Amino acid sequence: MDRYRIVAEIATGLEPEGVAVDVQRRRAYVACARSDAVTVVDLETFSVVGDVPVGREPMDIAFDGKSDRVFTADLLGESLSVVDASTLRAVGSVPVGSYPSGLALDESGRRLYCGCALSATLAAVDVDTLEVVASVEAEPGAGAIAFDADRSRAYCANFLAGTVTVLDARANAVVEQIEVGAAPCAVAVNAGRSELYVSNSFADTVTRIDLDTLSVIGTTSVDRTPVGAAVSRSGDRVYVSNRGSGTVSVVGAADAAEWGRIPVGEGPGGCTVDPLTGHLLVANAGGSSLTVVEDLLAERPSERPQDGQHPLVGRPLPPFALPDVRTGLVRTSREWAERKYILNFFASW
């Protein structure tokens, strides 16, 4: 049984992280962190239209159809870049907190919410006047945000604190801090089920939260290092991009079970669903590409995905030599022969 179809694999700028869809123009906007640019993709031809220079290290991206603007959260620029979607030119920037890394749009309220990791704050920006109208204290590592239009709330994943901040958008006030799994990286609202999904990157889990009670109702194990999340067009499943394995987990919304895993590019990060086609769009930071996927699963399959052993497990460690950051001396793997030790390749994608 065919479970998915890779519709396209499109080369982008370096280390794409966030992706947003312009339904009317049939475009995808991809924030490419190491290129300091937005790659613009035609979703009819699956070709690159162009690259738009923005601020330093854009991590997340949002599109507002009413103002016809694209916004990027620029980690090292401590600001949001503003791009005119009609001309594909940057037209301004909005200073926010330190290390802005997540964005969510309240279209009717005309607000853009930004999670700022180092300042542990949520900034609310008026998308029409481009002014910061509020800055609210969150928790350390504030980043990815999802907006709940039904309740007028923003939910911010706090990577370092292991929590989700719940913001009342009308009052610009925090109403709850919810403990979730280790290192939450992404949040997604399922309006039809009144649930929030949180990808916990260090725990390899997805936490489910009831939006009426603001309580945790369960967790689901997925593949390695989940860092992205998106809800399907019908709301019957959740897509979770797994940075550590190059896959997307498909999780059933009703049974909270992992239905399958879709291989995509290297180091997948941000993902979203095209509202028109239902296609899943995945930004692959490690492969500098955008994968477009058609999910062909009609329902939960009888067979569940199995965890496989990495092909390098059990093989001898290849020789290496690296400079010691403290002394400058070159250290080699021969020094630790026949010993047990841990190598930490942080952010190695």
Q: State pLDDT tens for residues 132-150.
A: 999 999 999 999 999 999 9
Amino acid symbol at 291? T
Q: How many residues does the chain have?
A: 349
Provide the CATH number for the domain around residue 115: 2.130.10.10
C-alpha triplet 316, 319, 320: angle, nearest 5°: 135
Q: What is the pLDDT of residue 325?
A: 73
C-alpha to C-alpha distance for 75 and 282, rounded to whole angstroms: 20
- Give the number of domains in the chain: 1
Q: What is the pLDDT of residue 112?
A: 98
With a CB cutoff of 8 Å and minimum separation 6, the contacts of 87 are none
Q: What is the pLDDT of residue 303?
A: 76
Residue 341 lies in a domain: no
Residue 316 lies in a domain: no
Please, which pLDDT band fits residue 50 given cuts at 50, 70 and 90? very high
Average pLDDT over every residue of 28-45:
98
Amino acid symbol at 156? C
pLDDT, tens digit, 9 for 90 and up, residues 230-280: 999 999 999 999 999 999 999 999 999 999 999 999 999 999 999 999 999
CB-based burial of residue 51 (10 Å sphere; 0-12 exposed, 13-18 middle, 19+ buried)? middle
Q: How many helices (H) and strands (E) does the chain have?
A: 0, 30
| Residue 273 vs residues 74, 174, 232: alpha-carbon distances, Å | 23, 29, 6
Residue 342 lies in a domain: no
Average pLDDT over every residue of 309-321:
68
Residue 199 lies in a domain: yes
Instruction: State percent of the chain over pLDDT 90.
Output: 84
pLDDT, tens digit, 9 for 90 and up, residues 86-115: 999 999 999 999 999 999 999 999 999 999
Residue 336 lies in a domain: no
- Please determine, for residue 310, whether its predicted confidence score (pLDDT) is greater than 60: no
- Please determine, for residue 308, whether its predicted confidence score (pLDDT) is greater than 70: no
Q: What is the pLDDT of residue 306?
A: 62
C-alpha to C-alpha distance for 191 and 185, rounded to whole angstroms: 20
Q: Which of 97, 91, 133, 84 is nearest to 112 (CA)?
A: 133
Residue 339 lies in a domain: no
Q: Which of 31, 50, 32 is nearest to 41 (CA)?
A: 50
Residues of the chain by 3-state class (helix, strand, coil), percent to 5: 0, 55, 45
- Please determine, for residue 349, whether its predicted confidence score (pLDDT) is greater than 90: no
With a CB cutoff of 8 Å and minimum separation 6, the contacts of 213 are none
Give the structural domain span for 238.
Answer: 4-295
